[in-house]
Structure 1
Amino acid sequence: MAGVVLETLSWRKLITLGVFLLILQIVFFVIGAVIAPAPTHVISMTATKCLDRNAYRDKNKWFPPRGKYACESLQSLDPNDRKIQEEGITAEQVVFSFWLPWPRDGHQLKMHRYFQFLLAVLQLDIEHDPQVPIVDKAKLQMDIRLAAGNEQDNGNWTLLASSVEDRNIECDLKKKMDKGDIYDCDLLQLFELGNVYYHYYLVNIRLPTFPLKGINMEIGKIVDMHMHGIHQNGGFSFVWFSMKTAMFPMVLGILIWFWRRITQMCRPANLLERTLFALGIVMTILNCPIEWFTLAFDIPFMLLLNDIRQGVFYAMLLSFWIIFTGEHIMDQTERNRLSLYWKHLTAVVFGCICMFVFEMCERGIQLKNPFFSVWTTTTGTNLALAFIILAGIAACCYFLFLCYMVVCVFKTISAKRMTLPSMSSLRRRFYMGLIYRFKFLMLVTLFCSAMTVIFFIISLLSEGQWKWGDEDLNVQYTSGFFTGVYGMWNVYIFGLLSMYAPSHKTVVEVDADENSQEESVQLTQLPSSSLPSETSALQAFVSKTAQD
């Protein structure tokens, strides 16, 4: 019976393959830690307070803070300001304007399509004034308009979205304040774009007041606004795209080779082989560098599409680990049936479906209204935080359960290992080599699962820190960790496809004694009913006690 490459490959070739994969893993980490910049960058800017003398009469008019068509700006919003008193300026005539990106050293910078996404949050400067009260969780209503333009548009702006949005202002009102002090308030979610196609982005915000309806009343004395724009670093994007471009043909090639080995066998593919092949397909889809198209085309759904690909990969990887360890427990239960794992896989699929629904409720709706966010209400924020916490707990529980399954595998092998002393020295050394190789592979699997769980949790926290209004949380992961984990997935799957492909060798020959006589170690033949599931010599050994 043919084994797998992991069992029949010579130690020299196996070590060579291992060293190659280790070097590849180190290269991934070094690329992120040394070459690539930080994954994201934050642009912070202060609003320009523009004066709209017509107050809503021309709704199509834009108020850029600078340039040829710069608006008429106000230096202060203090009611006692001379200009405001003389001209009778009202809140409806004030437009808070932001132009992304902010100029540097007197030069107007441009956004680049490598930035991939743009998340904007708002920070309010609310001054304490006993005559202008602020209540806890005051409702702020904003009339927001978002436009985009390119360098060659000559000051013409294209409307991307407009909406009237409500946000809850949450400030620390218990702290003792003097007149003129600024309240400590949480950040407010503003908008999120799934791609950065234009050079410039213009945001105009109005705070209309309607006393009879109670709109924008008791929100305190807003004296200024600041916006923080978060986008992916262009240099990191280039490194990321290049890595995916390099790994795509590499994993695709080994996947085709693996399946050709399967089809050459005189038996159908077993459950482990089918699952590994499916994992290779999902990894290839994740590696496909479709992000290059964003440099030429406006693809607003690219961020959502990448999240869906990532979620499918998580689901397949977690399912594979369950089946991979389960197929090697090799207890009295008949394996090689997907139905045996329905409880474990149902839990994984259910969790991934919940992630998909959450993703569609956030970024799916943002395709139509970029100002929408589940974090804008107290209920939505609590649900989102509960989702993040439960997802982190579920990931930790999954890892602990996987550790339990690996321990069961090791116990099974250790119990069968008691039969080795009754064998000849050649057969004993043969099976001992298989056990050492397999145990090392299982430890690598545990390490990969641990890093995946850590990466998943940190990604959730890092993405949510700006949305739940805690900019001081400062959850970050370096580019080296990001590229290292991504490289680890590719190296791990590449190694599994290489080592778990059916071997063309059916007999392993070793030296019998010092006189270089050879003895053929024939793998134990099992009944034909279990043959399709037994491609591994180790499985055959553990499933049935070897007889010398």
Structure 2
Amino acid sequence: MAGVVLENLSWKKLIVLGVFLLILMITFFLVGGIVSPKPSNVVTVLATRCYDRGSRLNRTKWFIPRGPHKCEELPSLDPEDEIIINNSITEKQVVFSFWIPGPRDGAERKMSPLFQSMLGVLQLDVEKNLKVPLSKNPVLQLDVRMGVRDEDDKDDDWKLLASSVEDRNLQCKLDKNKKEGYLYDCELLQLFELGSISHHFYLVNIRLPVNFLKGYNVGIGKVVDMYIHVIHQNGGFTIVWVTMKSVMFLLVLSILIWFWRRIMQLGRPPNLLERTLFALGVVMSILNCPIELLQFGLNVPFMLLLNDIRQGAFYAMLMSFWVIFAGEHIMDQTERNRLSLYWKHLSAIIFGSICLFVFDMCERGIQLKNPFFSIWVTSAGTKLALAFIILAGIAAGCYFLFLCYMIFCVMKNISAKKASLPSMSQLRRKFYLGIIYRFRFLMLATLVCAAFTVIFFIISQLNEGEWRWGDHELSMEYTSAFFTGVYGMWNVYVCGLLSLYAPSHKTVVEIDSADGSTEENVQLTQLPTTPSETSALQALTSKAAQD
């Protein structure tokens, strides 16, 4: 019986492998905590109030907030201001203009493909004014256009990227004892999301045209200023992230090829556990593949959606593997090695994955055509999105509890099988006890990996919707150490499983004997084997179950 590397590897080599994987995982945490900057960065851009002198709306003209072609700026939007009264300026002639990114220390900054993606969050400063009252839950309609320009283009050569008329529900509150002139506390509004940054400069023009018949921009109060909070991935973090993915892609792919070659050398077809582990390695390699490098030379607007699909597929495969891995080692019955035995567990995972995919397509799928679209703009959409995030967190927690129960059953069954060990000879008992201790440690590592994965999933979901719940501080980031550490843990876990559960090249289990007897070797090789078995532990428990 060949068994697997986990069982036949000497303690010395096993400790060396374990120490290497542990150092590798600690390195991931240290890289994120010491070398890498924070994952995301927030840049706030204040709008310039531009005056459109035309009697008709000119939707093809760009209003630029600075530079040689700077627009005519309005000092204020007070209806009693002389400029507004003398020129009979209407709300349609006021354009809020944003140049992204803003200048720093008098120098012009530019966007970079290293930022990967860009999320724009709109904040309105609404002043309390009795002449321009704020109604309850008014509808804010944004006539918005986005233009792009590169560093080598002319100053006024802005190209249209997207335009749309979007509705947002404006929700503001203010203490009753506050007098005129105070600003309302208004919730943040998602404005746009771009999955790729392929230009140096972005220009956003926003109008607030009033429509009394439909109630758009009626009762929104006195809007005095606008801000756009631009959230993007930190460039330094991107370099660290892509480097890590490139290294782990080559490492995992190499181990995966070695693992499958070992499987193909066997005189039997691969069993369910081996096929599932191979599939996990394939999905891990797909997640590791540094396709983000394409953004440095190409415009890939679907990158956010593609990354969500890759990570969702990894979650689904990892959870499926854990269920099958634990189920194949419970072995209360002799019938195993059939995927149909896990149809209930896998159906629930597949259903949840489909729900995740549909939800993501409703948000980022539509944003490929209209970056200003958001499922959060309506009350029903907000409730649905919040319900999804809450249910996803609850489902992840329930899955972890179920996995803990399955692992408990595995440990309980193995402990029960240990009752047959005292009847064996000393060397045989020592051999199986070593296997059981190794397997228990591996199950504990699985439990720790599952716990960190669930925590990471819940935190990522909370950060995804945090600013949408009214958090004006925009604390979007979680620590780089946790981000890179969990990612490194996944890779270390998969590498460890591929290495330890690869078929051993040894055809006879070797046990050192002080008296030089080979009786134990003969007995161990006579253990019953079935095409589904890959380890001596499975052979022992399977034999006990059959008896």
| TM-score category, normalised to shorter length | over 0.9
Aligned to 2:356: 355
1:253 deviates by: 0.7
Distance in 1 between residues matched to 2:433 and 2:110, nearest whole Å: 62
Q: How does 1:319-338 map to 2 (within 5 A)?
A: 319-338=320-339
Aligned to 1:7: 7
Q: TM-score, normalised by structure 1?
A: 0.97
Aligned to 1:20: 20
> Does the CA contact (< 8 Å) of 1:524 and 1:541 recur in 2?
no
Aligned to 2:58: 58
Distance in 1 between residues matched to 2:177 and 2:233, nearest whole Å: 39
Secondary structure, counterpart of 1:545 in structure 2 = helix
1:535 aligns with 2:534: yes
1:419 deviates by: 1.4
1:140 aligns with 2:140: yes
Change (3 A) 1:32 1:517: same
Change (3 A) 1:220 1:63: same
1:220 deviates by: 0.8
For 2:299, the aligned partner's letter is D
For 1:361, the aligned partner's letter is C
> Does the CA contact (< 8 Å) of 1:40 and 1:231 recur in 2?
yes
1:82 deviates by: 1.8
The more displaced of 464-473 and 325-334 is 464-473
1:173 deviates by: 4.9
Change (3 A) 1:129 1:439: same
Aligned to 1:89: 89
- Number of aligned pairs? 544
Cα RMSD over matched residues? 1.6
> Does the CA contact (< 8 Å) of 2:141 and 2:166 recur in 1?
yes
Aligned to 2:307: 306
> Does the CA contact (< 8 Å) of 2:116 and 2:195 recur in 1?
yes
1:491 deviates by: 0.6
Change (3 A) 1:81 1:509: same
The percent of aligned pairs where both chains have the same amino acid is 66
> Does the CA contact (< 8 Å) of 1:465 and 1:471 recur in 2?
no
Change (3 A) 1:401 1:213: closer
Q: How does 1:36-185 map to 2 (within 5 A)?
A: 36-155=36-155, 156-173=157-174, 175-185=176-186
Distance in 1 between residues matched to 2:513 and 2:92, nearest whole Å: 94
Aligned to 1:367: 368
1:518 deviates by: 5.2
> Does the CA contact (< 8 Å) of 2:366 and 2:373 recur in 1?
yes
Secondary structure, counterpart of 1:49 in structure 2 = strand
Once the two structures are superposed, residues 361-411 of structure 1 have per-residue CA deviations (whole angstroms, 9 ceiling, x without a partner) of 000000000000000111000000000000000000000000000000000
Change (3 A) 1:546 1:411: closer
Distance in 1 between residues matched to 2:493 and 2:55, nearest whole Å: 61
The more displaced of 485-494 and 464-473 is 464-473
Change (3 A) 1:173 1:546: closer
Aligned to 2:489: 488
Once the two structures are superposed, residues 12-45 of structure 1 have per-residue CA deviations (whole angstroms, 9 ceiling, x without a partner) of 1111111111111111111111111111000012
Distance in 2 between residues matched to 1:323 and 1:106, nearest whole Å: 60
> Does the CA contact (< 8 Å) of 1:142 and 1:166 recur in 2?
yes
1:356 deviates by: 0.2
Secondary structure, counterpart of 1:131 in structure 2 = coil
Aligned to 2:477: 476
> Does the CA contact (< 8 Å) of 2:332 and 2:545 recur in 1?
no
Structure 1 segments, 4+ long, off by >4 Å, are: 515-519, 524-528
Unaligned ranges ≥5, structure 2: none
1:517 deviates by: 5.1
Secondary structure, counterpart of 2:468 in structure 1 = coil
Once the two structures are superposed, residues 115-164 of structure 1 have per-residue CA deviations (whole angstroms, 9 ceiling, x without a partner) of 01000011111111122111221101110001111111112111010011
For 1:356, the aligned partner's letter is F
Distance in 2 between residues matched to 1:283 and 1:314, nearest whole Å: 10
Aligned to 1:339: 340
1:524 deviates by: 6.0
> Does the CA contact (< 8 Å) of 2:331 and 2:545 recur in 1?
no
Secondary structure, counterpart of 2:483 in structure 1 = helix
For 2:6, the aligned partner's letter is L
1:58 deviates by: 2.5
For 1:405, the aligned partner's letter is M
Once the two structures are superposed, residues 490-523 of structure 1 have per-residue CA deviations (whole angstroms, 9 ceiling, x without a partner) of 110011000001111122222333x555554343
> Does the CA contact (< 8 Å) of 1:524 and 1:537 recur in 2?
no
For 1:124, the aligned partner's letter is L
Unaligned ranges ≥5, structure 1: none
Q: TM-score, normalised by structure 2?
A: 0.97
Secondary structure, counterpart of 1:510 in structure 2 = coil
For 1:470, the aligned partner's letter is D
Distance in 2 between residues matched to 1:235 and 1:538, nearest whole Å: 47
Change (3 A) 1:226 1:475: closer
The more displaced of 312-321 and 462-471 is 462-471
Once the two structures are superposed, residues 298-348 of structure 1 have per-residue CA deviations (whole angstroms, 9 ceiling, x without a partner) of 111111111111111111011000000000001125111000000000000
Aligned to 1:234: 235
Change (3 A) 1:65 1:546: closer
Distance in 2 between residues matched to 1:546 and 1:171, nearest whole Å: 67
For 1:391, the aligned partner's letter is A
1:439 aligns with 2:440: yes
1:545 deviates by: 3.3
1:56 deviates by: 4.2
Aligned to 1:257: 258
> Does the CA contact (< 8 Å) of 1:195 and 1:299 recur in 2?
yes
Aligned to 1:455: 456
> Does the CA contact (< 8 Å) of 2:427 and 2:520 recur in 1?
no
1:525 deviates by: 4.6
Distance in 2 between residues matched to 1:15 and 1:111, nearest whole Å: 48
Change (3 A) 1:99 1:267: same
1:543 deviates by: 1.6
Aligned to 2:397: 396
Distance in 1 between residues matched to 2:423 and 2:479, nearest whole Å: 53
1:174 deviates by: 5.7
Distance in 1 between residues matched to 2:422 and 2:347, nearest whole Å: 42
